[in-house]
Structure 1
Amino acid sequence: MEKNDTIDFKALEKELQAALAADEKYKQENAAKLRAVEQRVASYEEFRGIVLASHLKPLEQKDKMGGKRSMSWNCHSTQERTFQDMACEISQEETHCQPETSAEFYRDWRRHLRSGPERYQVLLQLGGPKLGRLFQTDVGFGLLGELLVALANHVRPAHRAAVLEILSSLASTGRFTLNLSLLSQAERESCRDLFQKLQAMKEGPSQEEQSLEEQSAGAQEEDSLLQELLWLYQVD
C-alpha cells in the first residue's frame, strides 16, 4: 500500500464519534418535540425550552443529597476538559474556530463564542461553503435563529456578499424549512431586519435609476441572489 493510501483511523474514529453525537442529539430533540406536543404546551417559548433542554437528565437522589456521582448529569455541558479547552477559555486573544464537524461547531458556539461580534466574525471566517458542509444534514434546532441574530446585529456593507453566501448555504441544508418555521418571534424579526439591511446596502442610485450596463456583474448576481433568499426565508 502506498503512503498516500494509508488509512487515518484516528480521523475515521473522530468522524464516527461526531456522527454518533449528532444522531443522538437529533433523537433527543425529536423525542422532546413529541413530548411537548403530547403535553399540549401553552406557548411556542415553552415548546422551544423543552427541546433545547432535551439533553439534560434529572438529578438522582444521591446527586441531590451531595453523594458521589458515578456519571455526569449533563454530558453536553461537562465534557472532559483538555489543556486546549482551558487555554482557550483563559486566552484574551481572538478565538479561532475551525470546526470539522457540526458537533464541534455546536461545542465552540456554545462554550467559547459568547458575544455577538465573536460569533459574527466566526461565521465570516468559516464562510458559506464550509457552513453548508458542516450542516448538510441539519442546522439543528434553535441554532438557525442564533445564526440569523448574529448576522442581523453585526452585518456590514463590506460583508454583504459574504453574508448572502452564508444565507444561501444555510438555506440549502437539510430540514431548512422546518427549522425556519420554528424560529421564535424575536428571531423572525431579526431575520426580517437582516434582509432589510442587506437591501439597503446599495451604493449610488437605486436599481431603477441604473441601466444594466452601469451595474457590475457582481452586483447583479448579488441582487438576484437576494431576491431568491427573500423568498426562501419567507420575508415579506
Structure 2
Amino acid sequence: MASTKVSHDDDNLDFNKIEAEVQKAVDNDAKYWRENDAKIRAVEQRVGTYDEFREIVLAAHLQPLEKEDKISSMGTFTQVWNQAAEKKTISTEERKEEEGNFRTEGTFNVPKSGQEFVQRWKRLGKSAADQRKFLFTIGATKISELFKTEISGGLLGEFLECFQVFANDEVVSVIEMLEAFMKSQRFSLSLAFLSRKEKAACAALLETLKAHATVTSSPDLTERVAGIEKNFCGEK
C-alpha cells in the first residue's frame, strides 16, 4: 500500500497540514464576507420573508456563467453550480434563532460613517430608484452628519443624477437632500469636480424644481429652490 508523502522540516513541522489549515481559514473568511454582503443586500432589498432572506444568503457564492462556459448535462451543472450550498437540516430552535436574527437585520440600519455609506451605496448599482430610496430612508439630517466635512469620491454627481426623475410627492425630500449637501464644509470643492454631464444634470434638476414650485404656487418652495440654485450655480 502506497504511503502519502508528507513534507516536514527539521523541527518536524507538517507543512501540508499547515497549508491545509491556512487555506481552510482563508476559505472560511471569504465565505463569511460573502454571506455578510448578501445579508446587507437582502436588507436593502426589503425582502418580505425569512425564507427569501435565507435563499439570498445561501446563494451568496454563486457567480454568473461566462459565454465560454459549457454545460454538458443539467445533472452535472446542478451539482457543480450549487455544491457550495449543501443542504443543511436545522432544528426548530435553530430556525427560530435565525428568524430572530433576520428580524433584527431586516430593519434598516442607518450608516454610521461616510465610509459605510459609500460601501452600501456602491452595492446599489446604477438603479436611480434604489439610490433615491436609500437617500430618503437615511434622511437629510443624517446625510448632513455623514458628509459634514466633504462629499468625497465624486458622490455629489451621482446624487444629482439619481434625482433626474422623481415623483411629485418626493419634491420636498429632494429639496431637503440638496440643502443637506450644501451644508458640507467643502461643498464648493465637490462642485468643482462635477463633470460636464453632472453639471448638466444639476441644471436640469433645478429647472424641474423651479417648474414644480411655479405650478404649485408655493412661495416657500420658490424661495428654497432659489437658494439651492444660488449655491449650486452662483449668482444669476
TM-score, normalised via structure 1 length: 0.55
Q: Aligned partners of 2:43, 2:196: CA distance in 1, in Å?
A: 35
One-letter amino acid of the structure 2 residue matched with residue 177 of structure 1: S
Q: How far off its partner does 1:203 sit?
A: 6.7
Query: Within 1, Cα distance between the matches of 2:159 and 2:37?
Result: 23
Is the 8 Å Cα contact of residues 97 and 122 (structure 1) preserved in structure 2?
A: no
Residue 174 of structure 1 aligns with which residue? Answer: 185
Other-structure match for 2:209: 198
CA distance in 2, matches of 1:224, 1:81: 47
Residue correspondence of structure 1 range 67-216 to structure 2 within 5 A: 81=33, 83-89=35-41, 93-94=45-46, 96=108, 98-152=110-164, 154-202=165-213, 204=215
Tell me the amino acid that sits aligned with residue 232 of structure 1.
N
| Aligned-residue offset at 1:204 | 4.9
Residue 155 of structure 1 and its aligned partner are, at CA, apart by 2.1
In the TM superposition, what is the alpha-carbon distance from 1:222 to its structure 2 partner?
Answer: 1.9
Structure 1 position 228 matched with structure 2 position 180: no
CA shift at 1:128, angstroms?
1.3
Structure 2 residues not aligned, in runs of 5+: 1-29, 48-107
Aligned mates of 1:195, 1:113 — CA distance in 2: 25
Q: Which sections of structure 1, spanning at least 5 residues, go unmatched?
A: 1-77, 208-218
Give distance in 1, aligned partners of 2:43 and 2:114: 24
1:127 Cα deviation after fit:
1.9
Distance verdict in 2 for CA 1:204–1:167, change over 3 Å: closer
CA contact (8 A) 1:132 1:172 kept: yes
Residue deviations 1:69-101 (CA, integer Å, cap 9, x gap): xxxxxxxxx9x7163322234679338462111
Separation in 2 of the partners of 1:224 and 1:86?
A: 43
Aligned counterparts of 2:43 and 2:147: Cα–Cα separation in 1: 28
1:223 to partner: Cα distance = 1.4
Structure with higher Rg: it is 2
Deviation at 1:176, TM superposition (A): 0.5
Q: Deviations over 1:23-49 (max 9, x none)?
A: xxxxxxxxxxxxxxxxxxxxxxxxxxx
Q: Which has the higher contact order (CA 8 A, sep 6+)?
A: 1
Cα-Cα RMSD = 3.1
Residues 124, 130 of structure 2: 8 Å contact kept? no
Q: 1:136 to 1:92 in 2, by over 3 A?
A: closer
The percent identity for this pair of structures is 23
In structure 1, how many angstroms separate the alpha carbons of the residues matched to 2:178 and 2:44? 30
2:89 aligned partner: none
TM-score (norm. length: structure 2) = 0.55
